[in-house]
Chain A
Amino acid sequence: MSDAAGIDAALRAIARALRQICLLQETGRNEEAAQLEPVLLDPLIQSFRDSHGADSLSEERLQSLRACERERAGDAAALGELLAPLLLEQLRRPLDSLRSPPAAFPLRPASIVSPSPTTAPEIADLLDGMLAQENDRSARRPRHRP
């Protein structure tokens, strides 16, 4: 890969990392975003500066990249809110004609998270269900005075 192509590729990787972080911040997942900075973004920046010189990526330029990705993430989140229901509607129509009716799921107590039977359950949501059950059991356990 030529020097210019290598620099481009490295800058794109930094921009992607910034995009991921800004998207997390935009959707309120600030702790996850804070976690990603040192493990994903910082190593990429350090590697770029090590390869192309300490002045090759100024703080000003980095802030400008961050502002650009923040705006992009904001636009994407707003667009997502508008498009998601429309896309879901459109995707459901052809799939419904191929698939037999989804199985109904047994009734469970309200404390148990029960995701939609037409989508693969998210692991984090399932864990929420597990933690809710643990909290229920803990609340019902008799407390012993010391």
Chain B
Amino acid sequence: MTTAPAEKPFVTTAAPAATPPITRKSDRKVILAGFDLGTNKSCILAGPAGTNDMAVSKIVPTVIGYVKEGIVDGIIAGNATILYGEDALKNFLHVNLVAPLHNGVIVHPDAARDFLRHIRSLVDAGATADLRVAVGVPANTEEADRETIRGCAAGIFDRLLLIPEPFLAALGYRDDSRLNQPNYVDPVTNSLFIDIGGGTSDLCLIQGYFPSRDDQVCIPFAGDAIDGLIHEDINRSYPGNGLSRQTVREIKEAHSYAGPIRKPTDVKVIIGGKPRMLELGETIGRACNTLIDRIYPALTTLIVRASSDSVVQLLQNIIITGGGSQVRGIDTVLQKRLEDDGYESPKVRLAGQDYKRYVALGAFKAARAARENQWQHVLD
């Protein structure tokens, strides 16, 4: 099963969302949301304004499934014509899967709008609230791509703020309860975040002010690209294996590592209904090390931007987040490369098990803190 970034949906989109009842703007309750719109997985956190509640916390695969024509009644729950996220993936045999994003940018606006409508329904089922969403976008997203997001959100989200993802990761990672402790280094004050997602790897230098474009680097090489390299290599070494991209992704997630090649790494797969063991140590290692080779130059470029007074502390606060932080040994390998290149006592660490939520959490904090006049209206 693969997603099909180039295919158009064969079934028309679902009926438009029900028109909300007419209410005065001042009567509508305000819901604030932080939204990590990821190439493969999105995360939405939301709660009513003026409270500390996080009423919604969900991770949704960023995929739409348009039900194929001719599917017998009752096969799809509720005879739905569109499925979202996990439901779409589970019913892959009966739907045309569409991934609205590729390398972090929207490439299928219609599907993206359907996806955003679904996200809205998770947060505000009645579609009556004034929904204000801070959305994470890849570092240095082009203005045209930002406009595409705004266009897709028009009529679905009421207000918007587009904020770079690695900055939001730092905000989400920040432990607000420790800000007054003298020994706590606020990641927003002096750190370098590396957010490795599905479509892009984003690096950001954060030193107490909002990072400029020169403080950020976006590399269109991340989890999906590693899957691609592994898949190519498997097809070369084991022709006719028939393994899907999804299966390759699962292999990567179970066995990925960076650093010296580990052989043998035997992986059990099912080919033609029969179990087979494939030795994939070098295949996986080479693909993951390619990621390191792409990230390292960007990392040193940003380190050089820091002032000499701040750089030593900065080198102690290099943090890797996103799905790529799960590549075993990635922190050790990057740290060793910095040490070998003579950098002063670098310390690279992983963001931890909550890596899936940090961008959305940072966005949620931004949504809560944003002043009224900072929210941007979304024009139809």
**CB-based nearest A residue for B28:** A38
> Is A32 in contact with chain B by the CB < 8 A criterion?
yes
A131 touches B374 (CB 8 A): yes
Best-buried of A29, A122, A124 by chain B (most CB within 10 Å): A124
Interchain CA distance A138-B123 in the complex, whole Å: 32
A121 touches B188 (CB 8 A): yes
B374 touches A121 (CB 8 A): no
B179 touches A120 (CB 8 A): yes
Interface residues of B in 41-63 (CB under 8 A from A): 48-51
B26 touches A105 (CB 8 A): no
Interface residues of B in 349-371 (CB under 8 A from A): 365-366, 369-371
> Is B139 in contact with chain A by the CB < 8 A criterion?
no
B212 touches A109 (CB 8 A): yes
Binary per-residue interface labels of chain B (165-178) against chain A in the complex, 1 for a CB within 8 Å, 0 otherwise:
00000010000000
Is chain B's binding surface mostly helix, strand, loop or mixed?
loop
Q: Which residues of B contact A27 (CB under 8 A)?
A: none
A35 touches B30 (CB 8 A): yes
Q: Contacts A39-B48, A103-B310 given: A130-B190 contact, CB under 8 Å?
A: no
Binary per-residue interface labels of chain A (104-125) against chain B in the complex, 1 for a CB within 8 Å, 0 otherwise:
1111110011110100111110
> Is A137 in contact with chain B by the CB < 8 A criterion?
yes
Q: Which residues of B contact A38 (CB under 8 A)?
A: 26-27, 29
B143 touches A39 (CB 8 A): no
Interchain CA distance A104-B209 in the complex, whole Å: 13
> Is A143 in contact with chain B by the CB < 8 A criterion?
no
User: How many residues does chain B have at the interface if contact means C-beta atoms less than 8 Å apart?
Assistant: 38
A137 touches B371 (CB 8 A): no
B107 to chain A, nearest CB (A): 23
> Is A88 in contact with chain B by the CB < 8 A criterion?
no
Interface residues of A in 88-111 (CB under 8 A from B): 95, 98-99, 103-109
Q: Which residues of B contact A141 (CB under 8 A)?
A: 143
Q: Contacts A108-B209, A113-B209 given: A123-B366 contact, CB under 8 Å?
A: yes
B189 touches A120 (CB 8 A): yes
B205 to chain A, nearest CB (A): 9
> Is B280 in contact with chain A by the CB < 8 A criterion?
no
Q: Which residues of B contact A40 (CB under 8 A)?
A: 50-51
A95 touches B182 (CB 8 A): yes
A104 touches B310 (CB 8 A): yes
Q: Which residues of B contact A104 (CB under 8 A)?
A: 307, 309-310
> Is A128 in contact with chain B by the CB < 8 A criterion?
yes
B189 touches A130 (CB 8 A): no
B371 touches A115 (CB 8 A): no
Interchain CA distance A74-B306 in the complex, whole Å: 44
Q: Contacts A35-B49, A112-B209, A113-B210 given: A127-B30 contact, CB under 8 Å?
A: no
Q: Which residues of A contact B207 (CB under 8 A)?
A: 105-106
Q: Contacts A120-B179, A123-B369 given: A128-B188 contact, CB under 8 Å?
A: no
> Is A78 in contact with chain B by the CB < 8 A criterion?
no
B50 touches A124 (CB 8 A): no
A79 to chain B, nearest CB (A): 22
> Is A133 in contact with chain B by the CB < 8 A criterion?
yes
Interchain CA distance A114-B213 in the complex, whole Å: 15
Interface residues of B in 152-186 (CB under 8 A from A): 161, 163, 171, 179, 182, 186
- Chain A interface (Cβ < 8 Å from any Cβ of B): 29, 31-32, 34-36, 38-40, 95, 98-99, 103-109, 112-115, 117, 120-124, 126-131, 133, 137, 141
In the complex, 24 of the A-B residue pairs with CB atoms within 8 angstroms, ordered by the A residue number, are A32-B371, A38-B29, A39-B30, A39-B49, A103-B309, A104-B307, A104-B310, A106-B305, A106-B306, A106-B310, A108-B209, A113-B209, A114-B208, A117-B189, A120-B188, A120-B189, A126-B188, A126-B209, A127-B163, A127-B369, A129-B210, A130-B163, A130-B210, A131-B374
- Chain B interface (Cβ < 8 Å from any Cβ of A): 26-27, 29-30, 48-51, 143, 161, 163, 171, 179, 182, 186, 188-190, 207-210, 212-213, 305-307, 309-310, 313, 365-366, 369-374
A35-B50, A107-B307, A124-B370 known; 12 new pairs, CB 8 Å cut-off, are A35-B49, A39-B30, A104-B310, A106-B207, A112-B210, A114-B208, A120-B179, A120-B189, A121-B208, A126-B209, A127-B370, A141-B143
